[in-house]
Amino acid sequence: MKLDFTNKVVLITGASKGLGKGIALEFARRGAAVVLVARSAVPLEQLAQQIRLLGGEALAVPTDVTSAEQVSALVSKTMDRFGRIDVLVNNAGIARVGPVESPTFADDARQTMQASLFGAISLTQQVLPILRRQGSGTVVNMSSVMGRKAIARFGSYGLVMHAMSGFSDALRQELAGTKINVSVIYPALTATTLLEEVDEAAMPPAFRYLTPLTVDAVSRAVVVAVGRGKRRVVIPRIVTLLLVTEAISSRMADLFLTGLARYRWFGWPVGLSRGKTYHQSIPRSSGTVCRARA
């Protein structure tokens, strides 16, 4: 199936780096005009220039998705330029690592919820009337495997990703009977700079020996999900076994995660630890990181 997005407009948040950047490039290569959204203006414009040099069309709109006023301005600028929005990719957000007993846990959860969930809700609410008028479109919500199974030392992120799953499920049912699709994406740990500032020894134990997914692999999966109208995508597929196990027995799923944390060989048979670890794989950068999935 050839996925061609010519004459389609794709709006992507968190597009200045990591998965957002990868998703934008993947859609642009397939003919879409892309609207690039993040707080940082310089990397957004650099990406827009890169896409234009490839023959694509891109609009960079620096936006803080936690600001209702800025979100409204973003939607207005997009409609003024293109007159439509065909795909919304809610990818912006942050993550914090630490145990539940940490004195900062509640604040970490609150900040992550504001950036990752409520920003997506605000933008989705403003885009949905446009999709309804058009009679078609897709909302993509980037969650995480943590959105189906939380892990130790990553609880604040896990609870927000669970919330993203609930938001996506409710929205999909509310849009039943329309031609507006909702796709929720559940990647495992990915080689972005989301956790680059976390000391290797402080990483969530289950990530210790994992070989992260590539940005390209996850970006392609997002484009395929949109093109084929997939409701849920778990990447890699083998992780679905963990989620099925969790549905049957949380004890067994917890034991599986303990094995991943303690033994490098444990994940090898299912292809989860056959290469470099996260800190060996990530591109090094300076500054604060905005969004990837884990």
Positions marked active-site: 157
Residues forming beta bridges with residue 234, ordered by sequence position: 186
Nearest to 260 by CA among 242, 244, 236, 245: 242
Residue 147 DSSP one-character state = G
Interhelix angle for 18-29 vs 41-53, to 10°? 20
Asked if residues 206 and 200 have their Cβ atoms less than 8 Å apart, the reply is: no
Asked if residues 112 and 155 have their Cβ atoms less than 8 Å apart, the reply is: no
CA distances from 124 to 7, 70, 131, 255 (A): 21, 14, 10, 37
Q: Are strands 232-235 and 57-62 parallel, antiparallel or unpaired?
A: unpaired
